[in-house]
Amino acid sequence: MREVNAGFSPCGMGGLGKTTLAKKIYSQSQVVGHFKHLVWAYVSQNCQKRKVWEDILSDLNILSEADKKMKVEKLAEKISSFLEENKCLVILDDIWNTGDWDSLKPAFSARETRSKILVTSRNKEIISHADRKSFLYELQYLNYEQSWELFQKIAFPPTNSPGLPLAIIILGGILATKYPSLTEWLKVSVNVKSYLKSDKGEVLRDVLALSYDDLPPYLRPCFLYLSHFPEDYEIPAGRLIQLWVAEGIVSLKQEEGDAGQIAEDVAEGYLMELAERCMIQVRERDIATLKIRSFQMHDLMRDVCLSKAKQEKFLNIADQSNACLLSTLGSVRRISVHKFFSMQCIRNPRLLSLLLFDGFLPKEECRKLLPLTMQNYFDNHEDEDLNPLLWFVAVLGWSVLATKCRGIWKYMFNNFNFLRVLDYERGGEAGCKLPNDIGKLIHLRFSRLRGLEFFSSKLPSSLGNLSCLQTLDLRIGICSESIHVPNVLCRMRQLRHLYLPEQCSRKTKLKLGTLRNLQTLVNFNTKSCYVEDLINMTNIRELEIRGPFNIEDFNTEDLSKNPPIVRSKYLHSLSIINDEGRIDPRHLAHLLLSCENISKLSLVVEISKLPEYHYLSSNLAYIKLGRCMLEEDPMPTLEKLPYLRMLELHEMAFIGKELFCSAQGFPRLESLSLSHLHNLDEWKVDEGAMPSIQQLEIQKCIQLKKLRDGLRLIATLEELKIESMPKTFKDKVEEGGEDFCKVRHVPSIIFHDCFGSNYD
């Protein structure tokens, strides 16, 4: 393969498609196979050097907790060293000025490296400043014919070409919602014509503004709510929908329109409407349902959103520049904090929502208070006697930090008594414990404390006062192995989404049987919760069991006499994750028999034998098996499922030597992934098996010798990915090898990180 140009850099005004072009390069099979690691980092107008570098390390899978606390210069050294030793492609998207590049440059200072950097920018001077030898690719405006062709693709669904020049896409999205009403089209035409006399930049802004003006009243607050999130932030759809519902943006009148439909369903429809209008850019869809899982906003669309939110007094973004204003302004009742901001500057007693996207304390202050954490000390002085002075410094630092954190918590809990939403995005030190004062927030409907690190293993019993809570996320970090959750959750009868800690203290068993509105339950454990409570949760949609799953008083002689475990006809997703040993196959079979409508099943637990076919829901579209240690071939059971579209057998899911896919098996399967099946040496595929397969991944199945002839007859296969396989296997599959004739019809064949292979 030809070497990717070191300085290929798209540039041009916002909305021309720089990011789209970079993403096409990023996802090309030849590029994926050429580089060992691919990294994407958003820079944007507000360049945060540390965040960009941490994002790069995270994409490279080498970001540690210690990295988050080390000096920023050390991060640059770590990146530079890694890029020198490994062949990587790094895309820096949307650099605004030369100063930002100069601040980021130390991470890319390796002299001899096969890694490449691709930069996108609106300013072509930045490209030449970064690298005089770089190839500048300046995107051009579409001509009339190209613009008309694109417009038709967007305005006349269902043909949709995502990621094309922004103004045309937005305008097409507006008209697509009005098709085939000629009257409505003429109204839009009149509005647009008045803008076309302006320069191109103003036309773009005006068309984006028109997309907001055209929104129906019920969608406007939904769109404005997106202004809470930072630039280039990938917004999880589920979390956003929970926020919309908690704030009452989805009205009960609209919810009551359809028996069986709930607020979350209505909100999901609103999100789909915003996507159809091209006002958001979908990033990920649910595997089983194809519903939106995450999305982003184009930065120009986000500018419109921020402008309208400010104009409507919908939201304030808190930063040091408006600290004085926030101390006196009481009309805006939603505040979002993107960078550290002193909470005491907010003096609005009628505040409704507070979203925090940065650390609880500034990182610089944490580093001063904690010059040497205890964990780092032990890591670096394993075989040495404890230094009393260093121990004292560390303990003193923790003490000062805990006092500061406690003061912030108490200020919030005592001054924002009308708060409905408290969403904490970023983990980090949060003090000794969560203060009892949280019980004063009796109007709270959404509380997300995920990733916060407390020193105490006990949560306050005053949580029971929060009877209005709809979403509670307790997946907090802690020094001890388990967290004591007081037995007060049963009072929260409005709860719709509950995320328990990964390990709850087993001293107290939580009573959850009163939570009849619960839709999401994560980290349910039979050692800290009662199995019989699940039967009362008739609205449950997603259930994740972590740890052992044991049914008390189970009748092993006559299985039919055991009562059902789940009675919710809405349950669509079931996960079981257990590192503590094998699950009783009879208990698993009985649980699966209760889940007759699930479409997603994930089993990361030792089961040794897959339950028989009649225990599995015929609606299953996605199955993931991991660490199951199956001794018998699971394919004869799984291939009978009529709607199964994606199957993943990962990490010793199967420990036998042979898998067999028979003729007419897996009629709807589109994606199959075989990964870390270390004993697999034979995979047989009959003619007529998997007639709909599009993607096939084989990863680290080190005993597998060859591909079978059956693949030759699968005309639908579009992508074959071979990763971390022996070079002998790769040599057989690639062009010229003995197995190439079986896959020569596949448009995209990707080899990645195969042992001993050379991609230069």
Q: Give 493's DSSP letter.
A: T
CA angle at 319 for the pair 243 and 91, rounded to the nearest 5°: 75
pLDDT at residue 3 in the model? 36
Place of tokens 């990295």: 67
Q: Which residue has the higher pLDDT, 237 or 110?
A: 237
Asked if the model's pLDDT at residue 187 lies above 60, the reply is no
pLDDT at residue 135 in the model? 62
d(CA 752, CA 760): 13
C-beta separation of 146 from 3 below 8 A: no
User: What stretch of H or E contains 75?
Assistant: helix 72-85
Lowest mean pLDDT among 130-134, 175-179, 575-579: 175-179
d(CA 134, CA 508): 63
Asked if the model's pLDDT at residue 614 lies above 70, the reply is yes
Asked if the model's pLDDT at residue 492 lies above 90, the reply is yes
d(CA 212, CA 223): 8
pLDDT at residue 104 in the model? 87
Lowest mean pLDDT among 263-267, 365-369, 496-500, 585-589: 365-369
Asked if the model's pLDDT at residue 504 lies above 50, the reply is yes
Asked if the model's pLDDT at residue 236 lies above 70, the reply is yes
| pLDDT tens per residue across span 36-89 | 888 888 887 778 888 888 888 888 888 887 777 778 888 888 888 888 888 888
Asked if the model's pLDDT at residue 496 lies above 90, the reply is yes
C-beta separation of 473 from 448 below 8 A: yes
pLDDT at residue 58 in the model? 85
Specify the CATH architecture of the domain 9-138.
3-Layer(aba) Sandwich (3.40)
| pLDDT tens per residue across span 658-715 | 999 999 999 999 999 999 999 999 999 998 899 999 999 999 999 998 887 778 888 8
Q: How many CA atoms lie within 13 A of 708 on its CB side?
A: 16
d(CA 641, CA 651): 22
Percentage of residues of the chain with pLDDT beyond 70: 78
d(CA 372, CA 368): 9
Asked if the model's pLDDT at residue 256 lies above 50, the reply is no
Q: What is the mean pLDDT of residues 205-233?
A: 88
- Reference 583, options 547, 619, 544; nearest CA is 547
Cα–Cα distances (Å) from 514 to 290, 350, 471, in that order, read 32, 31, 15
Q: Give 458's DSSP letter.
A: B
- Reference 296, options 306, 283, 305, 285; nearest CA is 283
Percentage of residues of the chain with pLDDT beyond 90: 40
- Element counts in the chain: helices (H) and strands (E): 23, 30
pLDDT at residue 665 in the model? 94
User: What stretch of H or E contains 264?
Assistant: helix 263-276
pLDDT at residue 255 in the model? 44
Distance of CA 679 to the CA centre of its chain: 32
d(CA 441, CA 670): 48
d(CA 106, CA 242): 41
* DSSP collapsed to 3 states, 352-368: CEEEECCCCCCHHHHHH
d(CA 38, CA 108): 15
Mean pLDDT of the chain: 82
Domain ranges of the chain: 9-138, 148-311, 621-760
Q: Which residue has the higher pLDDT, 340 or 629?
A: 629
Lowest mean pLDDT among 64-73, 128-137, 331-340, 736-745: 128-137
| pLDDT tens per residue across span 398-434 | 677 778 888 889 999 999 999 999 998 876 667 778 8
- Reference 231, options 284, 140, 300; nearest CA is 300
* DSSP collapsed to 3 states, 13-58: CCCCCHHHHHHHHHHCHHHHHHCCEEEEEECCCCCCHHHHHHHHHH
Sign for the pseudo-dihedral over CA of 434, 437, 439, 444: negative
Lowest mean pLDDT among 107-116, 121-130, 543-552, 718-727: 121-130
Q: Which residue has the higher pLDDT, 380 or 57?
A: 57
pLDDT at residue 159 in the model? 43
Asked if the model's pLDDT at residue 631 lies above 50, the reply is yes
Place of tokens 């199959």: 672
In this prediction, residue 4 has a pLDDT band, given cuts at 50, 70 and 90, of: very low
C-beta separation of 343 from 407 below 8 A: no
Count Cβ atoms below 10 Å from residue 406 Cβ, excluding itself: 17
Q: Which residues are within 8 A (CB) of 424 and not within 5 positions of it... i.e. 6 or more apart?
A: 356, 360, 448, 449, 450, 451, 452
In this prediction, residue 167 has a pLDDT band, given cuts at 50, 70 and 90, of: low
